[in-house]
Amino acid sequence: MKLRDIIRETQAYYCLDCGKCTAVCPVAAHSETFSPRLTVLHALLGHNGGRPAGRLLGDCLTCGLCTEVCPSAVRYLSFTQMLRREMAETGSPPACSHGGVLTSLMRLQARKLEGRRGHDWVPAEARWAETGPLLYFTGCLPYYEVCFAELGASPLQTARDVLAVLNGLGATPVLLDDELCCGHDLYWNGDEDDARRLAERGAAAIAAAGAETVVSACPECVHALRDLWPALGVATGFRALHLSEYLAERGAAGELGLAVLPGRATYHDSCRLARQLGVVEAPRASLRTIYGSGFREMERHGREAVCCGTSGWLQCDAVSRRLQAERLREAAATGAATLVTACPKCRIHFLCAQGGESDDEVKGLRIRDYASVVREAMEGGEAFGDTA
Amino acid sequence: MPESLWQPKSLAQLQQALLEDRAFLEFPEGGHFVLQNLQDSPCRSACPAGVDVKGYVGLIAQGRFQEALDLVRRACPLPGVCGRICTHPCELACQRSELDDAVAVRLLKRFIADWELAHGARGIPRAERRRAENVAVIGSGPAGLAAALDLARLGYGVTVFEAEASPGGMLAQVIPGYRLPRDILAAEIAAIAGAGVEFRTGVRIGQDLSLEDLRGQGFAAVVIAVGMPLGRHLEVQGEKDYAGVYDCVSFLRREHTAPRDHRGEKLLVIGGGMSAMDAARTGVRLGFDSVQVVYRRTRDEMPAIEVDVVEAVAEGVELVFLAGPRRILGEDGRVTGLECDRMKLVAADESGRPRPVPIRGSDFTLPADVIVEAISQRSDLSFLPRALDFEVGAWSNLVTDPVTMATRVPWAFACGDVVTGPDTVVGAMAQGHVAARSVHAFLRGQPLTRPALAPPLEAQVRNRLPRKQARVPASSLDPAERGGFDEVERGYDVAAAMVEAARCMRCGPCEDCLVCASDCRHRHVMLAAPGTGPGAAAEPFEPVLIRVPADREEFPLQDAPRRVTLRWQPRGGRAAKGAARDAAPGELGLELTPLVCAVEEPLCRGCGDCLLACPYEAIRLEERGEGRPLVAVVQTERCRGCGTCVTACPTQAMHPGWFSHRGVLEQIDKLLAGAADLKAEDGSHEPRLLLISCNWCFPMSEALAATLPAGTRSLRLLCTGRVHPSFVTRAFEAGADGVFVAGCAKGECHYGGGNERLLATAASLRGALNLIGLAPERFEARLFPTGSAEAVVAAVQDFEAGLRRAGALRLATAAILPLEVSL
């Protein structure tokens, strides 16, 4: 796609050069080189062939705060994604952290035609099925369990907690024996071909299981299944819901008999859930029930919430770290002892950053996944030894 | 073409120019670089000639024998000779001796020399004649040969004059053939001749030609390396009265040129040094009924090296200690015996050895038919014209400036035994190097200097010792079979040499040996930098690598190199720089990359993972102000460039100076791309397999490597702790059917615990590969004891059999996504 077409498609030519995007951009606040406004300007003026120089394109978190404030409705996220796609095709995709191994594993899943993965992590007492109307899409949690063991986060515990919550609602969800990556990261990093491969095979597997509703505890998976797969031309005959949406739909607060948990807690909105999917209220509904008057909002929350600092395993750096540290201090400032997030990636990033912080209140924060909190409340608030 | 327009066309030329001070590297921030590594490994520091021991031992371990020999010949023109008779001070300094035995450096040098001869000697490349001046070298012993070769390499016309019929000096005349076969010596001298040195034998300066004649014939400088070819006498009673009394040099020379039958006779050798052992062991071979060595002190004080004494005793030589010669006895004009005093040892004399004094009335007589006085040697300087101002010392030595080897005659320099008195081969060669350098400076009108010697490595670099592994023994001829002058010691074969070389612990930093160059896929040289500011050469140096820009295209690197300027002068020498500055200096931009790892600060999130991974505690975290994350900082003086931190860093903020994360991924793509045609469509599947192994521990001969499965592509890393999970996943993406990683056994890692890190990486990676349904037989990481290349090959063969059973790994597309950019 030509740059001209990208500009037209994303309405970049509507840019008024007003600078509101740069004012709210969390990266621009800490980086001396990055500015959404300038990136668009360079494209419009054709500087450097219209492509942002060097790492700038990978610096964008695609968090979407800029599009929230843009008076001209420039589709900046699509603009970034399309430019990345162009750069990937011309041989210079943006750099990834962790040596690129997570992205490499995604591509291998997209391309490799053999092999199936098992469900070793599923507890014996859990109820699950191979076919049925409700499907639980675990996403990358098993990979994170392997790759981030040193964080002590046990990402797979989140998956066990989701299963327990769904079982608690009387549901017996389908677990796919050959579940593949949702393709979210590859799409946003510009590798649409591999994202489409994953979408095609993923949609076929979900269809084969007969699922009508797909639930995930990962906002990126939900975003991919609901928005990106159709955008990649892959038809889906199911609804994709975040766990919090599913619980809200089921009126779960009453149905699950959630207990009140002691202490104060606050909630971090993930970019994908709050802005791309517009899910702000659903998780809060459960958390207000669980924590009662102990639930506090951070200064920046809902659609104005700030990103956890990294997305798509793109290049993590000093700016990421500063965003994370800032967000953790913001959470601690509410007086909360628990920071709840409904995105496994946000949780991993915060846990990683927390390890290097010296502030006692930040160090004392318990960073938990939404599903784990719900499960604990559902089971009466008793301590579960291995609950994250 | 005026010299000022000179431009380096190759790495070798650049090195040479830097060595000659014709060029230097200038940094934007000030300060110059000259080619000298100021931190040598202990073995190299101990070598008088400065042979890069660690470098060539490393090359032997990799089976790169010709390159090893080339490296030796940079400083030692006689590898086959030194491989046999060098007193190997390097082995005495070898740090491995703290653990078990020193690395058998001498035998390894002998091995490559023999290997070259057995494979059709390539010899020494002919040196290009670049300068008008001719230099005469008088004497063709080791000092003269070293000086001659150095001068030829500097571009001069060099002629060596030798009084005897064949060149080699004492090596040809006196050293017995059972220690140094003459065909070895002849081959090495032929190699030096092949480099462009002319030999004129049978020309005795002082008789056939005078020193002034040489000047008249156009020799602009003369190197006097005539040695000490005459023996000394004891000056005891009866010495001159009877036939059968010889000095050692005369005895050996005579018996070497015209051996006689001494059956039925008794030999007495007086002295405890190496020539005494040579005389005694030669005596055994000449058929003497008995051979006794008479020495004033005891075995502990003998200057001869241990192995010679052991072999002498094994061959039947009897050692008589604490015996001081008093009088030579004879009858009818022939010697019959030696009268000795029994000695006792008292406090040490100025030589540091206990002083022997006679015990009154203890005299005894040893019967003898031949007596050899192996006590010392002297020179023959009768050829020096009286008109010239040479100074001769008390020991008949030619006096020179101890630093520059200059005599009082401006165009004459001297080196070797004639200056030092009888010394070792390697000591003589060391002097030859200095003399050549001074001749060069003299002819170029530069002041005579010698570069400061590199101080030996202060702190021990290795922080963990590898597992004990004894030195590989070399066999020797059974004493019962040593009738003639056949060589006694047998050298190593290929396998033994590679295993022995792999025992080297590689103390100290990179030494420009280029061992790693072929693996890194780019060439670099070691330079040392003075502190900042002009003329700060005396300041501490930090090791750096310099890369030749021509290599960039083929092997691109993404580490951020620094720009430096190479400048050169019409007349070299930094001392002459002020005067020459305005003449016609030239310059050339170069890129310089530190050997050490460096942190790209904007990428560093201060997690400290690198700090935990570094085997050398070379990384610390520094503050960068309020609200900013800590930043990792590499302490360059500690960093050894192993790259372990590069793998540990989650954000790729850590860059090694040489091969980056991306650089390794590119190598993987390249290696596997070449094997694409191995996957046949008809089902006769030839598995593609990537073998990642430790660079140091599994030297593999070509023959052994040939037994690896055909689809194997090999990637060697300096340390398998460097293996990043993405190396393996990238290999699968690139189409590998399997990946096998061979690390060294626990406790044997050159970099500490790299092998343990490999196991940890492999365990978590296996979990991830399992999740994507990759059959477990497609990935394996195993540790093998050092030197067990056969076991590695066998394991890879088994692994490949498993891949055949598993079938081809089918991918939806063969297109490899381009690598990410990190700018």
Residue B268 parent element (H or E): strand B266-270
CB spacing of B773 vs A101 below 8 angstroms: no
Question: B654 touching A, CB under 8 A?
Answer: no
Is the confidence at residue B555, as pLDDT, over 50?
no
DSSP, residue by residue, B443-507 = HTTPPP--PPPPPBP-S-S--S-----PPPP--B--GGG-SSS---B----HHHHHHHHTT----
Mean pLDDT of B273-282: 94
B652 neighbourhood in chain A, CB within 8 Å: 95, 97, 99, 315
Question: B679 touching A, CB under 8 A?
Answer: no
Model pLDDT for residues A182-207, shown as the tens digit of each residue: 999 999 999 999 999 999 999 999 99
In this prediction, residue B242 has a pLDDT band, given cuts at 50, 70 and 90, of: very high
Percent above pLDDT 90 for chain B: 43
Nearest-by-CA chain A residue for B761: A147
Asked if residues A110 and A195 have their Cβ atoms less than 8 Å apart, the reply is: yes
Asked if residues B294 and B268 have their Cβ atoms less than 8 Å apart, the reply is: yes
Model pLDDT for residues B189-228, shown as the tens digit of each residue: 999 999 999 999 999 999 999 999 999 999 999 999 999 9
Query: According to the model, what pLDDT value does residue A323 have?
Result: 94
Residue B610 parent element (H or E): helix B609-613
Percent above pLDDT 70 for chain B: 77
Is the confidence at residue B679, as pLDDT, over 80?
no
Residue B162 parent element (H or E): strand B157-162
Mean pLDDT of B389-414: 93
CA-wise closest residue to A312 among A77, A42, A24: A77
In this prediction, residue A114 has a pLDDT band, given cuts at 50, 70 and 90, of: low
Query: According to the model, what pLDDT value does residue B12 have?
Result: 43
Query: According to the model, what pLDDT value does residue B146 have?
Result: 97
Provide the b/e sequence for A282-314 (b: ≥16 CB within 10 Å): bbbebbebbbeebbbebebbeebbbbbbbbbbb
Nearest-by-CA chain B residue for A108: B733
Query: According to the model, what pLDDT value does residue B639 have?
Result: 67
The tokens of B461 are what? 């670099």
Query: According to the model, what pLDDT value does residue B678 have?
Result: 52
Q: Give the number of other Cβ atoms within 10 Å of residue B115's Cβ.
A: 20
For the ranges A9-13, B471-475, B655-659, which has the lowest average pLDDT?
Answer: B655-659
Mean pLDDT of B585-590: 48
Nearest-by-CA chain A residue for B725: A101
Is the confidence at residue A104, as pLDDT, over 50?
yes
Amino acid at residue number B430 = A
Q: Which of B651, B764, B772 sits opposite A115 (nearest CB)?
A: B772
Is the confidence at residue B659, as pLDDT, over 90?
no
In this prediction, residue B31 has a pLDDT band, given cuts at 50, 70 and 90, of: very low
Residue B327 φ then ψ, to 5°: -160, 140
Which of B820, B822, B823 to mutate against chain A (most A CBs within 10 Å)? B820
B604 neighbourhood in chain A, CB within 8 Å: 317-318
Query: According to the model, what pLDDT value does residue B249 have?
Result: 93
Is the confidence at residue B575, as pLDDT, over 80?
no
Closest chain B C-alpha to A248 CA, distance in angstroms: 32
Model pLDDT for residues A47-69, shown as the tens digit of each residue: 766 666 556 778 899 999 999 99
CB spacing of A352 vs B607 below 8 angstroms: yes
Model pLDDT for residues B150-177, shown as the tens digit of each residue: 999 999 999 999 999 999 999 999 999 9
Model pLDDT for residues B54-72, shown as the tens digit of each residue: 889 988 887 788 888 988 9
The class (CATH top level) of A3-89 is: mainly alpha
Strands B134-138 and B157-162: parallel
A130 CB contacts (<8 Å, ≥6 apart)? A174, A175, A177, A209
In this prediction, residue B533 has a pLDDT band, given cuts at 50, 70 and 90, of: very low
In this prediction, residue B705 has a pLDDT band, given cuts at 50, 70 and 90, of: confident
Query: According to the model, what pLDDT value does residue A92 have?
Result: 67
CB spacing of B774 vs A115 below 8 angstroms: yes
Burial of A176 (0-12, 13-18, 19+ CB in 10 A): buried
Mean pLDDT of B458-480: 67
Query: According to the model, what pLDDT value does residue B485 have?
Result: 83
Percent above pLDDT 70 for chain A: 93
Percent above pLDDT 90 for chain A: 65
Query: According to the model, what pLDDT value does residue B141 have?
Result: 97
Q: Which of A105, A197, A321 sits opposite B729 (nearest CB)?
A: A105
Q: Mean pLDDT, chain B, as a whole number?
A: 80
Q: What part of B 716-735 touches A (C-beta under 8 Å)?
A: 724-726, 729-730, 732-733
Domain with CATH 3.40.50 in chain A: 257-378
Provide the b/e sequence for A231-261 (b: ≥16 CB within 10 Å): bbebebebebbbbbbbbbeeebbeebebeeb
Is the confidence at residue A299, as pLDDT, over 70?
yes
Is the confidence at residue B742, as pLDDT, over 70?
yes
Amino acid at residue number B305 = I
Query: According to the model, what pLDDT value does residue A26 have?
Result: 93
In this prediction, residue A291 has a pLDDT band, given cuts at 50, 70 and 90, of: very high
Mean pLDDT of B642-658: 81
For the ranges A272-281, A325-334, B477-486, which has the lowest average pLDDT?
Answer: B477-486
Model pLDDT for residues A141-179, shown as the tens digit of each residue: 988 888 887 777 789 999 999 999 999 999 999 999 889
Is the confidence at residue B499, as pLDDT, over 80?
yes
For the ranges B42-46, B317-321, B814-818, which has the lowest average pLDDT?
Answer: B814-818
Closest chain B C-alpha to A37 CA, distance in angstroms: 22
Closest chain A C-alpha to B453 CA, distance in angstroms: 43
What value of ipTM does the predicted structure carry?
0.90
Closest chain B C-alpha to A223 CA, distance in angstroms: 22
Give the whole-angstrom CA distance, residue B560 versus residue B597.
11
For the ranges A88-102, A308-322, A332-346, B787-801, which has the lowest average pLDDT?
Answer: A88-102
Domain with CATH 1.10.1060.10 in chain A: 3-89
Query: According to the model, what pLDDT value does residue B163 have?
Result: 94
Amino acid at residue number A338 = T
Query: According to the model, what pLDDT value does residue A252 have?
Result: 61
Q: Regarding predicted confidence, which is higher, B531 or A8?
A: A8
Query: According to the model, what pLDDT value does residue B726 have?
Result: 92
Query: According to the model, what pLDDT value does residue B508 have?
Result: 56
Question: B399 touching A, CB under 8 A?
Answer: no
In this prediction, residue B567 has a pLDDT band, given cuts at 50, 70 and 90, of: low
A147 neighbourhood in chain B, CB within 8 Å: 764, 768
Query: According to the model, what pLDDT value does residue A31 have?
Result: 86
Query: According to the model, what pLDDT value does residue B30 have?
Result: 43
Amino acid at residue number B513 = C
Closest chain B C-alpha to A290 CA, distance in angstroms: 34
Mean pLDDT of B546-561: 32
A121 neighbourhood in chain B, CB within 8 Å: none
Closest chain B C-alpha to A40 CA, distance in angstroms: 21
Closest chain A C-alpha to B487 CA, distance in angstroms: 57
Question: B653 touching A, CB under 8 A?
Answer: yes
Mean pLDDT of B491-499: 89
Which of B605, B737, B813 to mutate against chain A (most A CBs within 10 Å)? B605
Q: Which of B603, B647, B730 sits opposite A317 (nearest CB)?
A: B603
Is the confidence at residue B537, as pLDDT, over 60?
no
Asked if residues B45 and B454 have their Cβ atoms less than 8 Å apart, the reply is: yes
CA-wise closest residue to A388 among A125, A133, A152, A81: A152
Query: According to the model, what pLDDT value does residue A48 have?
Result: 66
Which of A84, A104, A349 to mutate against chain B (most B CBs within 10 Å)? A104
Mean pLDDT of B586-594: 49
In this prediction, residue B1 has a pLDDT band, given cuts at 50, 70 and 90, of: very low
Query: According to the model, what pLDDT value does residue B512 have?
Result: 47
Domain A257-378 matching CATH 3.40.50: the answer reads: yes
Query: According to the model, what pLDDT value does residue B457 have?
Result: 43
Query: According to the model, what pLDDT value does residue B221 have?
Result: 97
pTM: 0.66
In this prediction, residue B358 has a pLDDT band, given cuts at 50, 70 and 90, of: very high
Q: Which of A94, A95, A113 sits opposite B810 (nearest CB)?
A: A113
Is the confidence at residue A77, as pLDDT, over 80?
yes
